Amino acid sequence: MHPLLPSLAAVCLYAGAATYQGLRLTQRSTPDKRLLALLGVLALLFHGGSLFLQLHNVQGLTLDFFNAASLIAYAVIALTLLACLRIPAENLLLLLFPLGGLTVLAAEFLPSGTIRPIDEHPGILAHILFSILAYGMLTIAVFQSILLLLQDHQLKHKHPSGLIKNFPPLQTMESLLFGFLWAGWLLLSLSLLSGALFLDDLFAQHLVHKTILSCFAWVVFAVLLWGRHQLGWRGHKAIRWTLAGFCLLMLAYFGSKLVREFILHI
């Protein structure tokens, strides 16, 4: 089966869910959570089907730049939908659904660089899984920090828009942010640990930049979480540290893949 049909179905469902949620929030009414979840789950099913067809290879996993972006978006949306079962994280979906649709389109239609299939050794696959989940959870944290910054700015200037009025209180938004950060940091720790255990040389020439930048990101998030626990860091300081750590992490992953696939062709 060709991945085109499930890709187009996923894009349509993501677009429909985002449009429905956006219209409801613009009208200052609460979207139906069950309908939103249903659309999101259906979109994920088709997204997962297209990913399986694009990634599956008899020699291993074909994880090129755009497939990786699509896989991370899939993990982010899936984790957010799961979080919505316990905490009010629905506002994040308004940004994540379009992101999911864009990455599906990119993986399907944009040309990718040259990349060798990944060996399906269980330890290496565990490292890849932890890495993707860590990037996904920390991506949620970044979206949450941007929404928190926007909400704080509009409340301070006393002109919250219709969208902001539907957000949970600032304290709840901040608690969500640090919940995502703790989960992402723990997953990143497991990613680095599994990489050290199962990769032949974590500091090989094609991995050294990714490893060093990921370690720097790990330190940044660790300092942020320590500052929150010991010094009560919050607000703009927490947001700045979150964005700094995320930028290092994205440079480590996507920066290295861009250089390898489109410049060095390895």
Which token pair is 144? 């949450």
Q: Using one digit for the tens of pLDDT, what is the confidence trace for 107-155? A: 888 866 556 666 667 777 788 878 888 888 888 888 888 888 887 777 7
pLDDT of 43 higher than 90:
yes
Domain boundary among 75, 107, 139: 107
**205 and 141 in a common domain:** yes
Structural domains in the chain (count): 2
Task: Look at residue 221 and tell me if it is in a domain.
Answer: yes
Burial 142-151 (b: 16+ CB within 10 A, else e): bbbbebbbeb
Cα torsion angle, 175, 215, 247, 106, sign: negative
Going 234 to 239 to 244 to 249, the CA torsion angle's sign is: positive
Q: State the pLDDT at residue 19.
A: 94
Beta bridge partners of 118: 61
End position of a domain, from candidates 42, 75, 107: 107
Residue, of 172 and 67, whose pLDDT is higher: 67
pLDDT attached to residue 6: 93
Q: Are residues 142 and 102 in the same domain?
A: no
Task: Answer with the one of 107, 135, 157 that is the final residue of a domain.
Answer: 107
Confidence of residue 3 (pLDDT cuts 50, 70, 90): confident
Tell me, yes or no, whether 173 and 97 share the same domain. Answer: no
Reported pTM: 0.74
State mean pLDDT over 222-233.
90
Query: Is a pLDDT exceeding 70 seen at residue 203?
Result: no
Are 19 and 97 part of one and the same domain? yes
Evaluate whether residue 113 is within a structural domain. no
β-strand pairing of 60-61 with 56-57: antiparallel
229 and 258 housed in the same domain: yes
Average pLDDT over residues 219-226: 94
Q: Is the pLDDT of residue 264 over 60?
A: no
Confidence category of residue 255, pLDDT binned at 50, 70, 90 = low
CA 122 to chain centre: 23
Count CB-CB contacts under 10 A for residue 9: 18
210 is written with which tokens? 């990714």
Average pLDDT, the chain: 81
Say what the pLDDT of residue 83 is: 80
Domain that residue 36 falls in = 1-107
Show the tokens assigned to 239.
């947001």
In 3D space, the residue among 127, 240, 245 whose CA is nearest the CA of residue 182 turns out to be 245
Residue 166 is assigned to a structural domain of this protein:
yes
User: C-alpha angle 144/216/151, rounded to 5°?
Assistant: 15
- Low-confidence winner among 83-87, 149-153, 161-165, 181-185 (lowest mean pLDDT): 161-165
**CA torsion, points 141, 256, 114, 128, in degrees to nearest 10?**
-50
**Residue 118: DSSP 8-state:** B
Looking at the fold, whether 101 and 142 belong to one and the same domain comes out as no
Q: 55: which residues sit within 8 A by CB, 6+ positions away?
A: 61, 62, 63, 67, 71
User: Count of CB atoms within 10 A of residue 209's CB?
Assistant: 16
Token pair in block for residue 117: 């299939």
pLDDT given for residue 262 in this prediction: 52
- pLDDT band for position 2 (cuts 50, 70, 90): confident
pLDDT tens figures, 45-60: 999 999 988 877 666 6
**Cα separation, 257 vs 177, whole angstroms:** 28
